[in-house]
Amino acid sequence: MSMFATSDGTEIRYEVRGNGWPVAVCHGGPNNISNTLMRDLAPLEDSYALIFHDYRGGGGSAAAPAATYRFDRLGDDLDELRAHLGHESMSVVAHSMGGFVALQYALRHPETCRRLALIATTPCGVARRMAIPVLQALGPLRTAKALVLAARFVGLWSWRRQSRERTTAMYAPMNVTQEARPELRAKVAAAHPELPVDNDNAPHLLKAMSALDLRDQLGSIHCPALVLYGSRDAASVVGGQMLASGLPNAQVRILPDVGHEVFIEAPAETFETLRGFLGAPD
């Protein structure tokens, strides 16, 4: 584990694994850390120098002023990490919420973003723009299941003090919208036992996500982009369509009958696609 200080003095934890072309990794969240993708992406270490980091206020990185827990600032942190490591440019692989970080990086630092792999993510987090198409992608049975769990959270947990159990209950409805096939759910649940993590940035990034819509800026991202998602991941189905229609230089890969955790549910197809997109090892 290494640390570097950003331009505003925030200490960021990072780790580089593997050798080859530099590929930064943006993990999901906000109650997440980079360790989860370190394990998931280990098969790529033979070909690329994977750059992992915890966002400010999360994991091993230091807490920062709440006003800096914004995705544009996280995108700037990523570019400062690139400069700290001495890379003129790098590709980015982003999963879930990490897509917001990666998109802001590509928008704010286009000259250093080589390729952009957006995995199971969306450019829009605004509920009124996402809710109806997500419910349509989800279908009636899974919608009913998610609504029951949402009602359970409101009745039993929303009024309680913050805890790991409360956070787990809060994410339960969303997990239904992303769930794997029944035979893979136990494997997915066991893959990241440390989650959810009580990060200092979590409530602020949740609020920032709910107000962020980058669709009208996608046209200015001209680097090659990969949009990859599973057909069972309702929000990513909707978000993937937004990304595919908005990014000028995008290619799309949809994994049939796969949920949110594509690295665990469909590793062969996912890594084959990623390697083909990122390019041959140096």
How far, in Å, CA of 89 to CA of 79, rounded? 9
Q: What is the reported pLDDT for 8?
A: 98
Cβ-based neighbour number of residue 109 at 10 Å: 17
Q: What is the reported pLDDT for 162?
A: 87
Cβ-based neighbour number of residue 21 at 10 Å: 19
How far, in Å, CA of 11 to CA of 128, rounded? 36
How far, in Å, CA of 104 to CA of 153, rounded? 32
Show pLDDT as tens, one digit a residue, over the chain (282 residues). Answer: 899 999 999 999 999 999 999 999 999 999 999 999 999 999 999 999 999 999 999 999 999 999 999 999 999 999 999 999 999 999 999 999 999 999 999 999 999 999 999 999 999 999 999 999 999 999 999 999 999 999 999 999 999 998 989 989 988 888 999 999 999 999 999 999 999 999 999 999 999 999 999 999 999 999 999 999 999 999 999 999 999 999 999 999 999 999 999 999 999 999 999 999 999 655
- What is the distance between the terminal CA atoms of the chain, rounded to a whole angstrom? 25
Cβ-based neighbour number of residue 208 at 10 Å: 20
pLDDT digits (tens, 9 = 90+) for 65-88: 999 999 999 999 999 999 999 999
Delineate the domains of the chain, giving CATH numbers in brackets.
2-127+198-278 (3.40.50.1820)
Cβ-based neighbour number of residue 244 at 10 Å: 17
pLDDT digits (tens, 9 = 90+) for 174-186: 899 999 999 999 9
CB 237 within 8 Å of CB 137: yes
CB 153 within 8 Å of CB 169: yes
Report which residue type is found at 74. L
228: left (phi over 0), alpha (psi -120 to 50) or beta: beta
What's the token pair of residue 184? Answer: 């893979």
Question: DSSP string covering 4-18, please?
Answer: EE-TTS-EEEEEEES
